Structure 1
Amino acid sequence: MSGYVARVRHDDLSSRSAEFDLLVSSAAQRWHKVDPLLPVPAHPRASTYPLLTVSDGAGRPVAAGTMRYSWYQPGEPGRTWGVPDQHWLTPIVGGPDPGAALDSLLTHWRDQLEALPTGTGSESAAVLTWPSRDVCGVLPLQRHGLQPYGVLAVRGFRRGVPPSLPPRDVTIRLAGSGDVAQVVGLLMEEHRYEEAFGGVFIQAETAEQTRRVVARALSRSPSWIWLAERGGRPVGLVWASPPERAHWAAPLVSASPTAHIGYGVVAEEERGQGIGTALVSQVHQALDSYGIAVTLLNYAMMNPLSGPFWNRMGYRPLWTTWEIRPALALR
């Protein structure tokens, strides 16, 4: 590792495209071996965001990471989903010793963060995603102080529990334009629960922002929001996005078409009665009939309910989000 050299690039990489092609090919081979559902890594670019590269003694790149910074002002929706100042690294790591290459990349990323004039205060985070089954990265990530926070999980076609009916007095239907208040109420309950895991920060504007998003979703037909009711009272929902509404998720997995489940909620007093399983069962039947190859969803690793439930429903980790707060706590 001591022989690695790092630099930050802002220039065109076309003159060294062959070398970076080898880096991408090396990472792609390792990814395919550990998890065939991982996509081929995207070729690193220096035109949009700064690119941090690590090269071996012969000048060949063994790791590259696109550095991106997001800052959310008060009142913006992004303030609900994380700290205001977020420093992201998108790594591609190859070579004969990918663990050492990642370790060097993280060391030099810390140097870059330390040199920044702003955005690394107490309300900042250093964040990256890493393939969940690519275990060569776990120890380097831990050594630099990063902790696994979130999971992007994947379910293949017709995976999961057999079709399940809800309790006798519970009905499940597609939500419509008249259900805005019911859907918002359940989502805000979910937001309040997720605050305990440090990934959701409810703002004064969150309820109204949620209402606007829900109203827009329910104006479509079908809404792809399934609502469970007991005696006309909302007790749970699952909100899915078919491929035409989940374009952002497609590059994260090798199979297609791809759908995404954004929310799965059961009211606290109704949990453990099979409502969630019945909701997901109906959603899966719709997705499978739609010809969806894979369905993705996110959950917080520290949520004691999400991981076990979604695993029973046929999901398993594909990508893991690692982070450290504040950003300069990165070692």
Structure 2
Amino acid sequence: MSGFVARVRHDDSPGAGSEFDQLVESAAKRWAAIDSLLPKPSPPRPSGYPLLTVSDGLGSPVATGTMLYSWYQPGDVGRTWGVSDQHWLTPVVGGPEPEAALDSLLTSWRDQLEQLPTGTGSESAALVTWPARDICGVLPLQRHGLQPQRVLAARGHRRGVPPSLPPRDVTIRLAEMRDLPDVVGLLMEEHRYEEHFGGVFIQPETPEQTRRVVMRALGRTPSWIWLAERGGRPVGLVWVSPPERARWAAPLVSTSPAAHIGYGMVTASERGRGIGTALVGYAHQALDSYGVSSTLLNYAVTNPLSGPFWSRMGYRPLWTTWEIRPALAMR
């Protein structure tokens, strides 16, 4: 690691030419060997922020990191899903010593964060998304104080438990516009539960923002929101974004088309009765018939229910988001 040299680039086209081709190819080979669902890493592109690079003793890049800053002011929808000041690093790490190269890259990033005039106070975070099976990144991320916060999990075509019927007195159907209050109520219950794991921050605007998003979804045919009811009372739902509404997810996985499950929940008093399994079964049947190759979803690492449940449903970690708050707590 002492032979590596870290530097900061401010040019307009950091990925131009062949300077990073060998680095990207090295990272791509490692990813392909450890996880066939990972996409090929992209070369660094201009982002308006400095590009961090780490070179070996011969001057060849062994790691790059694209910096990105996101700021959410009060009232923004994104404020529900994270702290107001978010500093992201997108790393591409190759070479024969990827653990040491990442360690050096994170040190350089920490130095850059220290030089920022604003945005690193108590309501800030430093975040890195890293392939879940690329274990060479675990120790460097831990050494710099970051901890795994969220998982993006993936399910292949027709993976998971076979479809099952709901309990006898439970019905499952596609939600319609008349279900707007019930769907919003279930989602707000889910938001309140997720607050316990530090990834959701309910704002005064969150209920109304949720209502508007749900109303748009219910205005489509089909809504891709399945609602479970017991005796006419809503007890759970699963909300799917099909490929045409989940284009942001396509670059995160090697197979296509890709869909995303935004919510899958059962109200607390009804858990453990097979309702969630039946709901997801309905969604999976629709996705498999639609020709979806990969279905993605997110859950908090510390949520004691999500990981075991989604694993049974055929999902496994693809990416892990590591985080530290505030950003300057990074070592």
Normalised by the length of structure 1, the TM-score is 0.98
Report what 1:271 is aligned to. Answer: 271
Name the CA distance, whole Å, in 2 between partners of 1:23 and 1:159: 34
1:162 counterpart letter in structure 2: P
1:30-65 C-alpha deviation (Å, 9 max, x unpaired): 000000100000110235432111111211110001
Name the CA distance, whole Å, in 2 between partners of 1:130 and 1:55: 20
Secondary structure at 1:96 match in 2: coil
CA contact (8 A) 2:54 2:105 kept: yes
2:149 counterpart letter in structure 1: Y
Report what 1:326 is aligned to. Answer: 326
1:255 counterpart letter in structure 2: T
Secondary structure at 1:102 match in 2: helix
Kindly indicate whether residue 308 of structure 2 is the aligned counterpart of residue 308 of structure 1.
Answer: yes
Report what 1:233 is aligned to. Answer: 233
Kindly indicate whether residue 59 of structure 2 is the aligned counterpart of residue 63 of structure 1.
Answer: no
Report what 1:98 is aligned to. Answer: 98
Report what 1:7 is aligned to. Answer: 7
Mapping of residues 17-36 of structure 1, within 5 Å:
17-36=17-36
CA contact (8 A) 1:54 1:61 kept: yes
Name the CA distance, whole Å, in 1 between partners of 2:64 and 2:46: 10
Kindly indicate whether residue 104 of structure 2 is the aligned counterpart of residue 72 of structure 1.
Answer: no
CA contact (8 A) 2:15 2:44 kept: no
1:27–1:181 CA distance, 2 compared to 1 (3 A): same
User: What is the deviation of 1:11?
Assistant: 1.2
Name the CA distance, whole Å, in 2 between partners of 1:206 and 1:133: 34
User: What is the deviation of 1:77?
Assistant: 0.8
Secondary structure at 1:105 match in 2: helix
Name the CA distance, whole Å, in 2 between partners of 1:236 and 1:19: 52
Name the CA distance, whole Å, in 2 between partners of 1:274 and 1:182: 20
CA contact (8 A) 2:15 2:46 kept: no
Report what 2:115 is aligned to. Answer: 115
Name the CA distance, whole Å, in 1 between partners of 2:25 and 2:201: 39
Mapping of residues 185-264 of structure 1, within 5 Å:
185-264=185-264
Report what 2:293 is aligned to. Answer: 293
1:325 counterpart letter in structure 2: R
1:76 counterpart letter in structure 2: D
Name the CA distance, whole Å, in 1 between partners of 2:47 and 2:277: 46
Name the CA distance, whole Å, in 2 between partners of 1:249 and 1:130: 15
CA root-mean-square deviation: 1.0
User: What is the deviation of 1:106?
Assistant: 0.2
Gap runs ≥5 in structure 2: none
1:313 counterpart letter in structure 2: M
2:319 counterpart letter in structure 1: W
CA contact (8 A) 1:11 1:47 kept: no
Name the CA distance, whole Å, in 2 between partners of 1:240 and 1:47: 31
Report what 1:134 is aligned to. Answer: 134
Name the CA distance, whole Å, in 2 between partners of 1:255 and 1:47: 26
Name the CA distance, whole Å, in 1 between partners of 2:184 and 2:16: 51
1:62–1:308 CA distance, 2 compared to 1 (3 A): same
Secondary structure at 2:159 match in 1: coil
Name the CA distance, whole Å, in 1 between partners of 2:102 and 2:17: 21
Greater shift in the superposed pair: 49-58 or 169-178: 49-58
Name the CA distance, whole Å, in 1 between partners of 2:47 and 2:205: 35
1:183-219 C-alpha deviation (Å, 9 max, x unpaired): 0000000000000000000000000000000000100
Report what 1:124 is aligned to. Answer: 124
Runs of 4+ residues over 6 Å off in structure 1: none
Gap runs ≥5 in structure 1: none
% same residue: 79
1:254 counterpart letter in structure 2: S
Secondary structure at 2:119 match in 1: coil
User: What is the deviation of 1:13?
Assistant: 3.9
1:232 counterpart letter in structure 2: G
1:308 counterpart letter in structure 2: P
